[in-house]
Amino acid sequence: MFKKVLIANRGEIAVRVIRSCKEMGIKTVAVYSELDSNALHVRLADEAYALGGKTAAESYLNTEAILNVIKKSKAEAVHPGYGFFSENTDFARAITDLGVVFIGPPPEAIEVMGDKISSRIAAEKAGVAGVPGRSEPVYDPSEIEAFGKEFGYPVAIKAAYGGGGRGMKVVNSKKEVKEAMESAKREALGAFGRDEIYLEKYLDWPRHIEMQIFADTLGNAVWLGERDCSVQRRHQKLIEESPAPNFPDDIRKKMGEAAVAVAKACGYVNAGTVEFLYQDGEFFFLEMNTRLQVEHPVTEAVVGMDLVKLQLRIANGEPIGFDQDDIERRGHAFECRINAEDATGGKFLPAPGPITKLVPPGGYGVRLDAGYESNDNVSQFYDNLIAKLITWGSDREEARLRMLRALDEIKVEGTPTVINAQKMVLREPEFINATHSTRWLESKVDFSKMEPNSPTLSEGNDGATQTTVLSEVNGKRFEVKLFLPEGLNLNSTSGSAKAKAKTRAQQSSIKTVASGHIAVPMQGTVVKLHVNVGDTVKSGDMIITLEAMKMENAISSDTDGVVKEIKVKAGDALSPGDIVAIIE
C-alpha cells in the first residue's frame, strides 16, 4: 500500500480522505490556498504545503504548484476528491508521467465519459438507452423546432460539456427556441469554454437515481446500490438517500447491471457513478461521473463499507475482493448537504462568511462530515458545502426522523444555512410518500412557511446584538434571548457576539440603503456590468452579475431611472451591503 498520499482538494472531502488514510496507516499531504492556510483539512493532515493564490484557478487548479508539492513531499499517489482536478485528464496524465498514481479511473475512460454526447453514445453501445434525444450536436434553431415537433415540448437544450446543474435550458414552445439556444451556448462557453449543445426531451416528473459502481484493474466490476437524489434546486442536489424509495428490486438489479455494462464498455477502473432519470417504471442514462461523489456516504451507510479505502486498494492494484452476491444492503440512509445558503423564500442565495459556531449532532446512526469547525470562514471563492449530515436507520422512516432530530441538534451560527429548508422538505407529505421528483422542490414546496433562517438575521432591533442567557424559574431552566445595545457585551459570548454584531450591521446596511442605491446582498466578485452611466433602466433590470460560490447572481435595479454612478468594475471583490450603482 502507498506510504504517502497527497489530497489535491480542500473542505469536507479532503478531510474525508485524510481520515481513511489515517486508519490505513498512510501519511497524508494537504495542499492549501492563501485563504486555507489554517483550514480543517490542513490541521488534520500530517504535512501541508502552500499553493499560493486565492481563487481555485490560482490554487487548487494550479497544476504546476501541485506537481511541485508532489515532488517535494514524495507522495506516491494523489486523491483528487471531487471537483477541481478529479475529472481532468491532463492532470491525471501529468502525475502519471511522474510515476505517481492517480486515485481514479484511467484518463481514456474519463475522456469517453467527459462530455455528455460521447457518454450517451458509449452507453448506447453498451445497450443502455439515454433520455430520449439526439446524440449529436445541434447547430441550428430549426433542428430544435423539428425535435419539439417530433418529441413534444418541453425540450432540454443541454451543454455537452456542462456540469453542476449549469448549461441546461428548458424550452416550452417554439417561440422560445432561438433565445434559449443562444443563452445555452453563451452560458456553456462562459462556464466551460465549449459551446456544443444537444437535445433531450425534458421529462416532466422524473426522479434522479444513480448507481454506484466499482471496477478493479483485474476486470472485476460490481454495483453497490443506488442513491435517489431527486430533491434538487437549480438542478443541484440538496438531500440524497439510499435505497431509492418506491423502487422495485427487479429495476434496481437491471439498473445495476446497466451501470456495470456502461463501466465495462469504457474500460472503467475505480469508483464511478452512472446517473439515470427514472420515470413511469423506465430508467434512462443521463451521464457517468468518473469520481467519488459528494453523496457517497449514504451508500457507505447501507453497505457498511468505506469507499475511500476501496478506492485506495484498487488504485494500488488490488482486487475488489468480494462478488456481486456478497453485497448486503441494510436499512436506509439520508444525507443533507449543509450549504452556506440563505433559503428564505426558496431563493437559496449563497451566503459565504465566518462560522461563529458549529456544534455537531451526535447519537446512534449519525455522521457529520464537515470541512469546517467553529471560527472557520466559508470563502466566496470555493463551493458552499459546510458539511454533510448523514443518518442511518433500520428503515426509511427511522432514518428520516433521526435526520430531523440531528438537524434540530446541529448548530451552525454566523452564516445562514439550508437546514430549515431541509427540515421542511423532510416533513412534506410528498417527500414522506416518495411521490416527489427532481422538479418538486422548486415547483411545489412553499418556502414562505419556512422558519426564519438564523436568529442573528432576525428583523427589528437594528444595531442590537442578540445573545442568549440562561435563567431558572421555580427550578426550571429557560433560555432567554436578549438584544443588547451595540457595544455592550456579555463576556460569556464575546467572540460570537462580536461576529453576530458584524453580521447584523451588514444586514441592516442592506436594508436601510435608499431606493436607487443598488447594493449587493452577499460577498462575491463582479463578473459583468450590464449598464453604463447615463443608461435608462427600469425596476428589475439587471445591473451587474455577481459570482459567489461558483454561482452567478443577478443584481437588479429596484427602481426606474437613469444610472448616475457606477462604483464597481468587473473583477472587484464586494462585501454584503456594498453599493454598486446609483440610479436616480
Chain contacts with ligand ADP (rule: CB under 6 A): 131, 156, 162-166, 168, 200, 202-203, 206, 208, 232, 235, 275, 277, 286-287, 438
The CA distances from residue 378 to 61, 344, 504, in Å, are: 19, 19, 17
Shortest separation between residue 202's beta carbon and ligand ADP, angstroms = 4
Q: Please state the closest distance from residue 81 (CB atom) to ligand ADP, in A.
A: 17
Q: Nearer Cβ to ligand ADP, position 168 or 546? A: 168
Between 147 and 392, whose beta carbon lies closer to ligand ADP? 147
Q: How far is the CB of 232 from ligand ADP (least distance, A)?
A: 5
Q: Which is nearer to ligand ADP, 275 or 300 (CB)?
A: 275
Helices (DSSP H) in 222-371: which residue ranges?
Answer: 249-265, 296-303, 307-315
- Cis check for the bond before 243: say yes or no (omega within 30 of 0): yes
Minimum distance of ligand ADP from residue 137's CB (angstroms): 16
> Hey, what long-range contacts does 189-194 have (CB within 8 A, 24 or more apart)?
191/162, 191/166, 191/167, 192/159, 192/161, 192/162, 192/163, 192/166, 192/167, 193/161, 194/115, 194/159, 194/160, 194/161
Q: Which lies closer to ligand ADP via its Cβ, residue 133 or residue 576?
A: 133
Name which of 83, 87, 95 is nearest 381 in CA terms. Answer: 83
Min CB(275)–ligand ADP separation in Å: 5
Q: Which residues contact 429 (CB under 8 A, 6 or more apart)?
A: none
Q: Is 267 helix (H, G, I), strand (E, B) or coil?
A: coil
CB of 272 to ligand ADP, least distance (A): 14
Smallest distance, ligand ADP to C-beta of residue 439, A: 7
Strand partners, 341: 350
Pull the grid cell for residue 258: 446497466
Alpha-helical (H) ranges within 50-115 are 63-73, 89-97, 107-114
Identify the three-state secondary structure at position 280.
coil
- Of 37 and 246, CB closest to ligand ADP: 246
- With respect to ligand ADP, which residue has the nearer C-beta, 162 or 353? 162
Which lies closer to ligand ADP via its Cβ, residue 232 or residue 553? 232
Distance of closest approach, residue 284 Cβ to ligand ADP, in angstroms: 8
Question: Cell 451591503 belongs to which residue?
Answer: 577
Give the distance, in angstroms, between the CA of residue 120 and the centroid of all CA atoms in the same chain.
23
Q: What is the smallest separation between the CB atom of 575 and ligand ADP, expressed in angstroms?
A: 30
Element (H, E) at 188: helix 177-192
Of the two residues 32 and 440, which places its CB atom closer to ligand ADP in the complex?
440
CB 464 within 8 A of CB 487: no
The least CB distance from residue 83 to ligand ADP, in Å, is: 12
Reduced DSSP (H G I as helix, E B as strand, rest coil) percent helix, strand, coil of the chain, to 5: 30, 30, 35
476-489 CB burial, b ≥16 within 10 A, e <16: eeeeeeeebeeeee
Closest to ligand ADP by CB, 83 or 414: 83
Judged by beta carbon, residue 101 or residue 168, the one nearer ligand ADP is 168
Residue nearest to ligand ADP (CB): 438
Please say which residue, 171 or 518, places its beta carbon nearer to ligand ADP.
171
Q: List Cα–Cα distances, 109 to 92, 102, 270, 375, in angstroms.
A: 12, 13, 11, 41
Distance from first CA to last CA of the chain, Å, rounded? Answer: 67
Beta bridge mates, 574: 524
76 or 287: whose CB is closer to ligand ADP? 287
Which candidate, 218, 293, 212, 278, places its Cα nearest to that of 248? 278
As measured in angstroms, the least distance from the Cβ of 163 to ligand ADP is 4
Nearest distance in Å: CB 168, ligand ADP: 6
